[in-house]
């Protein structure tokens, strides 16, 4: 991965180039920003730039031995740490799956990563054993480069175990660079944040997102529609451009219908069904719901002039419901979904959360 392959993020790329040109690359860099903005691709491109044997024109050369190895994610001085499941499981045990996932798309999110390793309803974390392994890896001299790079993806998954890395992050071995990546920096220990130089990425601009989608083979019209809907999230845009999101969309529409009808036995049954999905997929479903309701609100505000950019089945359902609801009702549902996402993130009991949300939604939309 090099800078040229990262979608958008011109200002962030320039900041990283200046750090290198001025010889002030931080020992700990935190890339933060919204989902799908390209934090992991940018971290990979920066790592490649740092390890490249012959960088040119503000980017890695793509031809040297180091670049060939970083492109395959096998450079011995490029290390990865990422959320896995299990109390004594480390990232190294999932490295083959991780490399395959990166080759598929470095714009993946935590939900898809955990699903790819069969996490089901378990949450990923970076545990004690992983922190010990990080320290051990970085205690060795570089193998092929004069630098070592450690990328910690979803650093919020460290939790309190991050305390074990404080001293290492503050005073790493010579020419060792940490690149932390986070969508929720407020969930990272303040003592770690204070030791990092922070660089925030913005959402990808619609024009840049549309251009990237056209490069994937979409028509300009379809690419433009998806770019608007995805709101700067390339991972989400990829889902919209395929059939991958169809199940979530239908799940949400079915849930809305049952909430509208308000039959108690069906609401209980569906709450159980949603509770069995696993927390990451539950968050994904609720986030889809927010987009669904947002499209309804745009359609209502424009008096039907602004098209609802959803798949055909979901679009028809959204138009039908939007014609029956007042704008304030849609706002209430959106706020409810927001609170539900926060509840899932706080490990709320999912069955109770979805049943409570179902009952409240029934009152809101009837």
Model confidence pLDDT, tens digit, residues 177-229: 999 999 999 999 999 999 999 999 999 999 999 999 999 888 888 888 788 77
Of 135, 169, 200, the domain-final residue: 200
| pLDDT of the residue at 278 | 81
Residue 119 lies in domain: 3-200
CB 152 within 8 A of CB 127: no
Q: Residue 68: inside a domain, yes or no?
A: yes
CATH number for the domain that contains residue 51: 3.40.50.300
89 and 161 assigned to the same domain: yes
| pLDDT of the residue at 38 | 95
Number of domains in the chain: 2
E strand or H helix at 182: strand 176-182
Q: Residue 214: inside a domain, yes or no?
A: no
Q: Residue 232: inside a domain, yes or no?
A: no
Q: Residue 309: inside a domain, yes or no?
A: yes
| pLDDT of the residue at 121 | 67
- pLDDT tens digit sequence for 33-81: 999 999 999 999 999 999 999 999 999 999 999 999 999 999 999 999 9
Q: Residue 234: inside a domain, yes or no?
A: no
Report the percentage of the chain scoring pLDDT > 70.
98
185 and 281 assigned to the same domain: no
Q: Is 150 helix (H, G, I), strand (E, B) or coil?
A: strand
Angle (deg, nearest 10), helices 350-365 and 264-275: 140
31 and 124 assigned to the same domain: yes
Residues 312-341: what's their mean pLDDT? 92
Q: Residue 238: inside a domain, yes or no?
A: no
Measured CA to CA, the distance from residue 309 to residue 229 in angstroms comes to: 7
Count other Cβ atoms within 10 Å, centred on residue 146.
11
34 and 174 assigned to the same domain: yes
Q: How far is CA 264 from the centre of its chain?
A: 35
Q: How confident is the model at residue 304 (pLDDT cuts 50, 70, 90)?
A: confident
Among 137, 145, 198, CA closest to 172: 137
125 and 254 assigned to the same domain: no
172 and 51 assigned to the same domain: yes
- Ramachandran quadrant class, 154 (left: phi over 0; alpha: psi -120 to 50; beta: rest): left
Residues 359-363: what's their mean pLDDT? 96
CB 220 within 8 A of CB 26: no
Q: Residue 62: inside a domain, yes or no?
A: yes
pTM of the model: 0.76
- Taking each continuous run of H as one helix and of E as one strand, the counts in the chain are 17, 5
Report the percentage of the chain scoring pLDDT > 90.
76
Measured CA to CA, the distance from residue 348 to residue 43 in angstroms comes to: 32
CB 7 within 8 A of CB 234: yes
196 and 66 assigned to the same domain: yes
Label residues 57-73 b or e (16+ Cβ within 10 Å = b): ebbbbbeeebbebbbeb
Among 96, 131, 94, 128, CA closest to 114: 94
190 and 293 assigned to the same domain: no
Task: Report phi then psi at 136, rounded to 5.
Answer: -65, -45
Q: Is 276 helix (H, G, I), strand (E, B) or coil?
A: coil
| pLDDT of the residue at 247 | 74
196 and 249 assigned to the same domain: no
- pLDDT tens digit sequence for 244-285: 456 778 899 999 999 999 999 999 999 999 999 888 789 888
Q: Residue 235: inside a domain, yes or no?
A: no
Is it the case that residue 360 has pLDDT exceeding 80? yes
Q: How far is CA 175 from the centre of its chain?
A: 29
């Amino acid at each position: 991965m090099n800078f040229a392959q990262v979608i958008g993020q011109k200002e962030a790329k320039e900041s990283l180039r200046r750090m290198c040109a001025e010889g002030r690359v931080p020992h700990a860099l935190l890339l933060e920003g919204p989902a799908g903005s390209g934090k992991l691709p940018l971290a990979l491109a920066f790592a490649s730039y740092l390890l490249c044997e012959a960088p040119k024109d503000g980017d890695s050369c793509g031809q040297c031995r180091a670049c060939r190895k970083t492109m395959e994610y096998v450079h011995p001085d490029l290390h990865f740490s990422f959320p896995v499941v299990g109390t004594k499981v480390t990232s190294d045990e999932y490295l083959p799956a991780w490399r395959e996932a990166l080759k598929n798309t470095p714009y993946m999110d935590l939900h898809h990563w955990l699903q790819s390793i069969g996490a089901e309803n378990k949450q990923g974390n970076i545990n004690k054993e992983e922190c010990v392994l990080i320290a051990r890896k970085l205690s060795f001299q570089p193998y092929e480069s004069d630098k070592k790079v450690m990328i910690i993806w979803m650093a919020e998954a460290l939790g309190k175990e991050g305390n074990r890395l404080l001293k290492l992050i503050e005073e790493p071995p010579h020419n060792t660079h940490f690149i932390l990546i986070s969508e929720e920096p407020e969930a990272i220990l303040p003592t770690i944040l204070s030791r990092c130089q922070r660089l925030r990425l913005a959402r990808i601009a619609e024009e840049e997102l549309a251009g990237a989608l056209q490069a994937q083979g979409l028509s300009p019209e379809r690419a433009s529609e998806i770019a608007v809907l995805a709101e700067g999230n390339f991972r989400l845009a990829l889902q919209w451009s395929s059939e991958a999101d169809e199940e979530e969309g239908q799940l949400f529409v079915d849930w809305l219908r049952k909430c509208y009808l308000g039959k108690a036995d069906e609401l209980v049954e569906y709450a159980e069904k949603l509770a069995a999905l696993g927390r990451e997929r539950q968050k994904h479903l609720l986030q889809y719901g927010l987009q669904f309701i947002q499209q309804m609100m745009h359609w209502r505000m424009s008096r039907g002039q602004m098209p609802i950019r959803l798949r055909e089945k979901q679009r028809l359902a959204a138009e039908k419901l939007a014609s029956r609801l007042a704008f304030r009702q849609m706002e209430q549902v959106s706020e409810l979904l927001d609170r539900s996402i926060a509840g899932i993130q706080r490990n709320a009991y999912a069955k109770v959360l979805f049943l409570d949300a179902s009952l409240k939604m029934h009152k809101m939309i009837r």
